[in-house]
Chain A
């Protein structure tokens, strides 16, 4: 079982819709969770992080963490074509000082 799993997609949504990206992780002791956005040919860019159970909102982005079920999700409201990118979920497993990345979900937002 991979430590961090994501559906590779592509996830296609129309402009203005809510995009929902999901990630599951295997280490129950993980404490820190991150979402990175990566445009084609560019480096990953941190967009959200969450440490506590529940929701965290930042503009059009909401990160949701459920430690009991070991999943973290990212909601993008009012999706725009400029949101089209690959979204990487990353987790810090317990006892480590390094990130473990999922393989990413490709999001396509059509005008």
Chain B
């Protein structure tokens, strides 16, 4: 059981370049999430997918797009990278049953935009 995996682990982009961050989970969870984490700002939700076929904006969606490819995979795309998108990106997955809810995180992608 790998849990939540993310690729790549590190990436350096120039302003204006595009890239896709990949995320996959093998826990058969319905819900998946993309966060960014910046110093002093905590974890902020970019987009989430409550179930296969649905996606919704989170707190900071501007400059990003997502695709829920299937139940396992949820990708995050930066169409035209900006220095403000330099951050650590975490993917997470969860399965909610009533009030019981546990969210598991991938190892993260450290992105630098120059």
Contacts and interface: CB of A to CB of B under 8 A. Distances in A.
A43 B99 CA distance: 24
Contacts, number: 48
A62 interface: no
Interface residues of A, number: 22
B53 interface: no
Interface of A: 8, 31-32, 34, 42-46, 49, 51, 88, 90, 92, 97-104
22 contacts: A32-B99, A34-B102, A43-B90, A43-B106, A43-B107, A44-B43, A44-B105, A46-B103, A49-B101, A49-B102, A51-B99, A88-B42, A88-B43, A90-B103, A97-B48, A97-B50, A97-B96, A98-B45, A98-B48, A99-B103, A102-B42, A103-B41
Interface of B: 31, 33, 40-45, 48, 50, 58, 90, 96, 99-108
